[in-house]
């Protein structure tokens, strides 16, 4: 089977995508710095898959390294060639992803997310690997109240994180648009990935401060955090809290598999594609659903709006449905149930 390089493959979305790729027989090479993740996620994947594939260890190659160092990326390609497992495509997750942190530390975000991707593209070109799925974000869009966001919407990021994602998209577009370019590029614009694998073995496990709502929710539910803060009660939405498109991480992972199948069979091109459910849920509604599904109480309080946030971010996912033959299968209740199952099974993380 084909060999895929997954940068940032031990992280939340990366680990679930690795699981799906391995289930389909791919060999995977994972490059990760472990800054905000752990190699234990891969050990858990092996536990999940060992019963159906006794040779699963031979299909996983985990290498510690940082995309800021071009030599670390070259090392992975060197190892793959030595093993006669030529890397045919890259799924690029590696990067920093907190909106609030990017406002405080913009230089760090530009260095990691943009300079790191340039290094990756240089090495891919050198080794004649010209197929890449890039982990982009809905934060590239200009916010439009109560309107689903399609790929044709205006891109006008509102924070450094969003700017770095959009800048990488522009770089990849420029690479693709060169005369006689052989690059196949798909930028997947995620909305709000949450939940966990139904086994409870892998889930969202940030090593430091939890910046996203979901790990904060589960940490409050299990008693590791006293309450959750909702940033803004006066947004122009139906209950005053921000409305988001929460997508189950396994639907997102399966979206990557569909995108990879599309990428490898189509002609060289550049595409930006949304991955979301098309359904908006407010932060307050999400908390209430989590409480109801799991029979737990989540204390919360309101704070002022965060700089860099938006009122409404919900996907028009019709392009993903038509091009990738992909449709999300799980709902908000599944998200709440699976994520809580992960946290109960891993009260202290991995």
Q: Do the Cβ atoms of 4 and 89 come closer than 8 Å?
A: yes
At 294, give phi and psi (nearest 5°).
-105, 0
CA dihedral 214, 274, 281, 220 (to 10 degrees): 0
Q: Of 316, 281, 7, 268, whose CA–CA distance to 144 is shortest? A: 316
Alpha-carbon torsion 31, 34, 38, 40, what sign?
positive
Q: Of 97, 82, 80, whose CA–CA distance to 26 is shortest? A: 80
Active-site entry in 161, 163, 190, 201? 161
Measured CA distances, 310 to 142, 145, 168, 199, 209 (Å): 9, 9, 21, 33, 21
Q: Work out whether strand 3-7 and strand 228-231 pair parallel, antiparallel, or are unpaired.
A: unpaired
Q: What span, in angstroms and rounded, lies between the C-alpha atoms of 338 and 200?
A: 7
Q: What span, in angstroms and rounded, lies between the C-alpha atoms of 203 and 217?
A: 13
Starting at the edge strand found earlier in the chain, the sheet holding 87-92 runs 60-64, 27-32, 3-7, 87-92, 131-137, 184-190, 269-275
Burial of residue 84 (number of CB atoms within 10 Å: 0-12, 13-18, 19+): exposed
Q: What span, in angstroms and rounded, lies between the C-alpha atoms of 196 and 343?
A: 9
Measured CA distances, 193 to 82, 255, 261, 299 (Å): 36, 12, 21, 22
161 is catalytic: yes
Q: Do the Cβ atoms of 201 and 193 come closer than 8 Å?
A: no
Q: Which residues are catalytic?
A: 161
């Amino acid at each position: 089977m084909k060999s895929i390089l997954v940068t940032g493959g031990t992280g939340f979305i990366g680990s679930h995508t690795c699981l799906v790729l391995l289930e389909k027989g791919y060999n995977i090479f994972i490059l990760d710095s472990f800054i905000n993740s752990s190699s234990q996620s891969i050990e858990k994947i092996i536990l999940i898959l060992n019963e159906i594939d006794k040779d699963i260890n031979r299909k996983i190659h985990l290498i510690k390294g940082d995309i800021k160092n071009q030599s670390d990326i070259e090392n992975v390609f060197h190892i793959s060639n030595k093993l006669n497992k030529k890397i045919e495509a890259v799924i690029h997750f590696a990067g920093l992803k907190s909106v609030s942190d990017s406002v405080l530390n913009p230089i760090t975000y530009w260095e990691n997310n943009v300079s790191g991707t340039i290094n990756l593209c240089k090495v891919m070109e050198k080794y004649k690997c010209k197929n890449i799925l890039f982990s982009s974000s809905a934060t590239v869009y200009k916010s439009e109240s109560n309107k689903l966001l399609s790929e044709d919407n205006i891109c006008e990021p509102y924070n450094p994180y969003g700017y770095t994602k959009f800048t990488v998209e522009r770089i990849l577009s420029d690479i693709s648009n060169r005369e006689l370019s052989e690059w196949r590029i798909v930028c997947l614009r995620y909305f709000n990935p949450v939940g966990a694998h139904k086994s409870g073995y892998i889930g969202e496990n940030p090593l430091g401060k939890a910046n996203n709502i979901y790990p904060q929710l589960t940490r409050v539910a299990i008693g590791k955090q006293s309450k959750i803060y909702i940033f803004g009660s006066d947004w122009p939405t139906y209950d005053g809290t921000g409305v988001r498109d929460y997508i189950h991480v396994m639907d997102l992972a399966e979206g990557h598999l569909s995108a990879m199948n599309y990428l490898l069979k189509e002609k060289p091109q550049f595409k930006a594609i949304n991955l979301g459910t098309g359904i908006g849920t407010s932060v307050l509604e999400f908390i209430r659903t989590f409480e109801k599904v799991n029979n737990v109480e989540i204390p919360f309080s309101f704070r002022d709006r965060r700089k860099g946030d938006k009122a409404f971010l919900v996907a028009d996912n019709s392009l993903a449905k038509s091009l990738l033959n992909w449709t999300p299968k799980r709902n908000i209740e599944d998200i709440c149930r699976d994520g809580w199952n992960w946290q109960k099974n891993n009260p202290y993380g991995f």
